[in-house]
Structure 1
Amino acid sequence: MSLHKTSGRWRLGLALSLLTVLLWGILPIALAIALQVLDVYTVIWFRFLISFLLLGVYLGIRGKLPKLEQLRSASWKLLAIATLFLGINYLLFMQGLALTSPANAEVLIQLSTLLLGFGGLVIFKERYRLYQWIGVSVMTCGYLLFFWEQLTNLITAHGTYILGSSLIALGATSWAIYALAQKQLLQSLSSPSIMLIIYGGCALLFTPLAKIQSLFILDSFHLLMLVFCAFNTLIAYGAFAESLEHWEASRVSAVIALAPIVTLITVAVVSVIAPNWIPSENFTFIAILGAGLVVTGSVAIALGKAN
């Protein structure tokens, strides 16, 4: 089986990856607010449905809806795998988020980027140079420092906190499987076409579980948060899918690893502006040092040229 090759437009891949980082970094906060009044299934269903409808309209206007011959040439087995595992990722991540916190959820979900990078190296035969492996080590040390308090909580906590953390870790694994399937599908379909099919399939999967009537009694603030989550899904996953067209999966994963820093910074800002929304996070010198190491290691991996 032939494997997908990138376009080589690494600057575009980097820009799209950074956009994904920004949107995924602030997403857990908006989701935590939406979960204050809605159940997990309804939030997931709404995000997928709105993303499917908006993307379908956009592709229809531009005359870029997937054609029948393109669909015939695509691997429906891979499409089914990508759809199923992205749906599982959404479910497990949001269940875990409801049981823990935005910061903790964003820490643990980074397992997905490490697994994606590993999959890129093993499956797609991507390669790291020595200093890129050093970057991996630096980034790992940075995470251990930056999230020391959260990691300590994982060891000492009991009950729902550990359960939520375990669900997020499983969700990270399912996301890596989705992302690798998505990259291989780019051989036969464009990234918007792939996402359209996946959004529609996931919306159907969660329709029987959604409590649609609960959407009609939302106040304006929580409705705004829910709509933001839907648009975030559409734009972030579109940018991520397109970044895999132009850049290696291992390097996209390295840039996406910066998302927790965006989350922690956003939590700090929001907790000052609106303390009733999100509890505040306390940053120590060790955490700041760890953040610097994460950025340094990620940049070394992402910008280094492969052999």
Structure 2
Amino acid sequence: MMHQTSGRWRLGLGLSLLTVFLWGILPIALKVTLQALDVYTVIWFRFLMSFVLLMIYLYVQKKLPTLEQLETNSRKLLAIATIFLAANYFFFMQGLALAGAVNAEVIIQLAAVLLGFGGLVIFKERYTLRQWFGVSVLTLGFMLFFKAQLTNLITAQGQYLLGSGLIVIGAVAWAIYALIQKQLLQSFSSSNIMLIIYGGCTLLFTPLAKLNTIFTLDILHLGMLLFCGLNTLIAYGAFAESLEHWEASRVSAILALAPLVTLISVWLVANIFPTLITPEHITLIGIVGALLVVSSSVTIALGKSEEKGTGG
């Protein structure tokens, strides 16, 4: 039996927009943090911090998962989701270290596209003709943005292509995780799912983390690391809960707005703190592509569904 949404689409929309904002500014904080720490330690800390804070919250609320729940057939799905989310973090972080924040955030949106099509195929969600037109415009917008970025980075093409390839692998891994996450809502609350996955991912990265390097950080990089941890907890919590109330295909369309938040954030930070991150130059074609992504995402997400009973 496949998971069905609650139909509270306004709540799903709000949670999706919160996720977009947090994921949009995250690459900047990660880029700064990677100046002082290695990829494995950053990932490990983000998962550990999220796990500890969420466990404390669920303990106080008396909502921790029970042993009976953990003994269900969902254990295999939980294990698979944990592995694929860990893979997503690893490949995205490695790719981010090689490519710019804006480029990484645009490329990772392939994950949202795959999630949307997964919702259509696996969960039998449907698009209207107007929404399919939105998908076409979304694709065109991405193509224009990619064309502009490839032109800008032609001098560093080898590094860019390697970083891009790693991020694409991370995007595929994330889409698989997200689809499993939606199905797991049949057996667990979104917070319980994330608690188990955070704990599993923390264990996976513990042998690779260099814990002593965290104690050598200055105020700036420690603050960025703590922000990344909080961002992980809140953003993924909002995303997981949005899938409870809204179709995966619509959530994925809203998530496609994240690169625009990154683009604006990079421009602001680079102008206010020019020594913190390197500014990224976007051509007029790239801006047009970004605007097409915005308009088509809204069309896809807010278009009326053909399925009955999914309004709200």
Q: Match of 1:162?
A: 161
**How does 1:5-84 map onto structure 2 within 5 Å?**
5-84=4-83
User: Is it true that 1:286 corresponds to 2:276 in the alignment?
Assistant: no
Q: Which runs of 5+ in 1 are unaligned?
A: none
**How does 1:96-245 map onto structure 2 within 5 Å?**
96-152=95-151, 157-245=156-244
Contact 1:88 1:174 (8 Å CA) reproduced: yes
Tell me the TM-score normalized by structure 2. Answer: 0.95
Deviations along 1:271-292, one digit per CA (max 9) or x if unpaired, are 0000111111334433333232
Offset, 1:241 = 0.3
Give distance in 2, aligned partners of 1:110 and 1:299: 15
**1:154–1:186 distance in 2 versus 1, CA, 3 Å:** farther
Offset, 1:147 = 4.0
Give distance in 2, aligned partners of 1:35 and 1:201: 23
**1:160–1:130 distance in 2 versus 1, CA, 3 Å:** same
Q: Match of 2:86?
A: 87
Give distance in 2, aligned partners of 1:99 and 1:162: 9
Give distance in 2, aligned partners of 1:74 and 1:209: 30
Q: What CA RMSD, in Å, does the superposition of the two structures yield over aligned residues?
A: 1.3
Offset, 1:51 = 0.2
State which drifts further: 163-172 or 71-80: 71-80
Give distance in 2, aligned partners of 1:286 and 1:135: 19
User: Is it true that 1:257 corresponds to 2:233 in the alignment?
Assistant: no
Amino acid at match of 1:252: V
**1:283–1:258 distance in 2 versus 1, CA, 3 Å:** same
Deviations along 1:27-58, one digit per CA (max 9) or x if unpaired, are 00000000001000000000000000000000
- 2:71 is paired with a residue of what secondary structure? helix
Amino acid at match of 1:108: I
Deviations along 1:169-207, one digit per CA (max 9) or x if unpaired, are 000000000000000000000000000000000000000
Tell me the TM-score normalized by structure 1. Answer: 0.96
Amino acid at match of 2:183: Q
- 1:66 is paired with a residue of what secondary structure? coil
Q: Match of 2:310?
A: none
Amino acid at match of 2:297: S
Amino acid at match of 2:303: G
Please identify runs of 4+ aligned residues in structure 1 that moved more than 4 A. 153-157
Offset, 1:69 = 1.9
Offset, 1:72 = 2.2
Offset, 1:232 = 0.2
Give distance in 2, aligned partners of 1:105 and 1:281: 12
Offset, 1:102 = 0.6
Q: Which runs of 5+ in 2 are unaligned?
A: 307-312
- 1:159 is paired with a residue of what secondary structure? helix
Offset, 1:266 = 0.2
Q: Match of 1:297?
A: 296
Give distance in 2, aligned partners of 1:188 and 1:156: 50
Give distance in 2, aligned partners of 1:294 and 1:273: 27
Give distance in 1, aligned partners of 2:241 and 2:189: 8
Amino acid at match of 2:13: L
Offset, 1:153 = 5.2
**How does 1:267-286 map onto structure 2 within 5 Å?**
267-286=266-285
Offset, 1:157 = 4.4
